[in-house]
């Protein structure tokens, strides 16, 4: 939960710097959990607005942590756009997001 709060509270729209693999994937895990709870609550209570509201609220921090994660492997944040290519693009971005950090200084170090 600490990693999720770090992304949402402390780095809401921070596209600069680097994000560790653990920071990205812990944010991803808690994001999936909270989105699932919001979706289930929408269906169970018949609300229909909780999930879209939650998705809109975490859109910017999700993009920011993804871009900072790519910076950590010494890639530009624009590499996220390759995921728009069906199947192969998504697989390539997942590989980049799972890659170990680039040790030492890189083009995106602060």
Mean pLDDT of the chain: 93
> pTM score, two decimals?
0.89
The interaxial angle of helices 59-72 and 21-45, nearest 10 deg, is 160
Give the model confidence (pLDDT) of 22-74 as tens digits.
999 999 999 999 999 999 999 999 888 999 999 999 999 999 999 999 999 99
Q: How far is CA 92 from the centre of its chain?
A: 15
Q: How far is CA 54 from the centre of its chain?
A: 14
3-state secondary structure of 62: helix
State the CB neighbour count (10 A cutoff) for residue 92. 14
Q: Which residue has the higher pLDDT, 108 or 29?
A: 29
Q: Above 70 in pLDDT, residue 20? A: yes
| pLDDT of res. 90 | 96
Q: Above 80 in pLDDT, residue 7? A: yes
| pLDDT of res. 106 | 82
Q: Which residue has the higher pLDDT, 104 or 33?
A: 33
* Angstrom distance (rounded) from CA 63 to CA 14: 9
- The residue extents of the domains of the chain are 2-98
Structure-token match 């992304």, residue found: 7
Phi, psi of 66 (to 5 degrees): -65, -45
Q: Above 80 in pLDDT, residue 83? A: yes
pLDDT band at 110 (very low <50, low <70, confident <90, very high): low
């Amino acid at each position: 939960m600490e990693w999720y709060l770090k992304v949402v509270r402390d780095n809401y729209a921070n596209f600069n710097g680097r994000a560790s693999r653990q920071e990205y994937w812990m944010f991803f895990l808690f994001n999936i959990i909270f989105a699932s709870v919001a979706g289930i609550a929408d269906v169970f209570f018949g609300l229909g607005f909780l999930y879209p509201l939650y998705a809109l609220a975490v859109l910017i921090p999700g993009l920011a942590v993804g871009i900072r994660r790519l910076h950590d492997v010494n890639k530009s944040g624009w590499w996220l756009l390759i995921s728009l290519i069906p199947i192969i693009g998504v697989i390539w971005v997942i590989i980049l997001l799972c890659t170990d950090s680039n040790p030492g200084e890189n083009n995106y170090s602060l």
